Amino acid sequence: MNSIWEKDVELPEFPSLKGNLHTDILIVGGGLAGVLCARQLAQANADYALVEASSIGSGITKNTTAKITSQHGLIYEKLTRELGVETARLYFQANQAALNQYKELCRDLDCDFQEKDAFVYSRTNRKKIEREVTALERLGAPVSFEQEVPLPFPIAGAVRLPGQAQFHPLKFLGAVARNLRIYEHTKVLELMPGRAVTTGGTICAKKIIIATHFPILNKHGGYFLKLYQQRSYMLALEGAPDVGAMYRDEQEQGLSFRNYGNLLLLGGSGHRTGKPGGWQQLEAFAKKFYPAAKISARWATQDCMSLDGMPYVGQYAKGTPDLLVATGFNKWGMTSSLAAAGLLADLALGKENRYAPVFRPSRKVLRPQLAANILEAIVGLLTPTAPRCPHMGCALKYNAAEHSWDCPCHGSRFGEEGRLLNNPATDDKKMG
């Protein structure tokens, strides 16, 4: 169940750390956000190092749908209503700036970069779409309402945002990672102020950036309450039509579409990690609407979902001025990774960044999703079953579709033999 991005791609390899190290800025995590942050620091001639427990791109980056877009569902009407026009505008501008940076970066890179329009559609609710169009127009976005799209079902309406993009994430990652100061197969065992103990030695750093998808440090920031993780699924269909753009249903359970080469990438069926799910809905849809298509690949991915739909990027917690974080990308990790990288680099170098207040991790937490996360944690802790997650002790649930043990509290996942598949747990689980 490997993604299409893993085929025929050779990523650069980096040494593991052997001995102690001193650096101004340490980045923990070799996914797209961490590597792009390292690149920003390298361009600023900063003293930095990045450590990755496995190899770069081996986590969530390899399983993305690889859409580069500022259109994050129907978020702008919500942000405008709840947080005000200025916050919504800054969020849009941060993502548009990242999109434009990708366009510049990819101009000379072999990463299958293509500009594409992006659509969020609704199958039933035209008013939702109209409200989002109005909100985006207030922000100065070149948006339009569309009644028809080349999908095999009728829609009530769609928001079209032109000039967005898609690419091959691992080809891109490999290209931008070359010549960076990266140590692979170097796992962080313990974090302390100004110091990280790893499998290869102790690293002393003035600033530490945690870019591990789900933050691995529990005692600060309350991320185990502010985040939950969601699984979603993808099929690569051969012999299906080219839909010409990128599409996303406004409903959490809805479908997404984009093409790559001769393949149609059909995604969706999202659910909280640890709950039942799989590829059944996607397979049934493909059989009904694309009966001549052949499934050439299938895979799943996992996303950290924040309380308000925006990432947490900045100071890890109020009491940790030298510890920074990027997490909670809410299914939009491509654009968010580059936006986060620039913000983190500025903060680590002591520079001001106009987007910092928007992404501040210590912002308001009293939102409906917080209660849902707390309830799920209580249920998980009180459920009298084994095995249990080594992260915080919640009961693990067997995932029959992917043959894994998953934690519905915080999203850690383990193979049937106990091998760690997804964090925030940091170690394998002893089974039996």
Give the pLDDT confidence score for residue 292 in this predicted structure.
96
| pLDDT (0 to 100) of residue 58 | 95
Give pairs for 379-388: CB < 8 Å, separation 24+: 379/408, 380/274, 380/407, 380/408, 380/409, 381/409, 387/429, 387/431
CB 13 within 8 A of CB 52: no
Quick check: 14 and 42 in contact, CB under 8 A? Answer: no
**With b meaning 16 or more CB within 10 Å and e meaning fewer, what string describes 284-303?**
ebbeeebeebebebbbbbbb
Single pTM value for the model: 0.96
User: By C-alpha distance, which of 282, 237, 245 is closest to 69?
Assistant: 245
pLDDT of residue 432: 66
Question: What residues pair up with 146 in beta bridges, in sequence order?
Answer: 158
Write out pLDDT tens, residues 312-349.
Answer: 999 999 999 999 999 999 999 999 999 999 999 999 99
DSSP per position, 83-128 = H-HHHHHHHHHHHHHHHHHHHHHHTTS-S--EEEEEEEEESS-HHH
Phi/psi region, residue 186 (left: phi>0; alpha: psi -120 to 50; beta: rest), is beta
Dihedral pair phi/psi, residue 377, rounded to 5°: -65, -40
User: What does the block give as tokens for 351?
Assistant: 């520079």
- Residue 253: the pLDDT is 85
CA dist 403 and 278 (Å) reads: 11
- Position 431 scores a pLDDT of 80
Backbone angles phi, psi at 253, to 5 degrees: -85, 0
Instruction: State how far the Cα of 375 lies from the Cα of 104, in Å rounded to an integer.
Output: 45
How far apart CA 310 and CA 168 sit, in angstroms, is: 24
With CA atoms as reference, report the closest residue to 104 among 332, 338, 346.
338
**Residue 65 in tokens:** 């749908």
Where is 345: in which H helix or E strand? helix 333-348
pLDDT under 50: residue ranges of the chain: none
- What pLDDT is attached to residue 386? 77
Give pLDDT, residue 238.
98
Q: Which are the contacts of 100, defined by CB distance < 8 A and separation ≥ 6?
A: none
Report the side by side order of strands in the sheet with 397-399. 397-399, 404-406, 413-415, 420-422
| Domains contained in the chain, CATH given | 4-64+171-226+308-359 (3.50.50.60), 230-304 (3.30.70), 368-422 (2.102.10.10)
C-alpha 257/C-alpha 356 separation (Å) is: 32
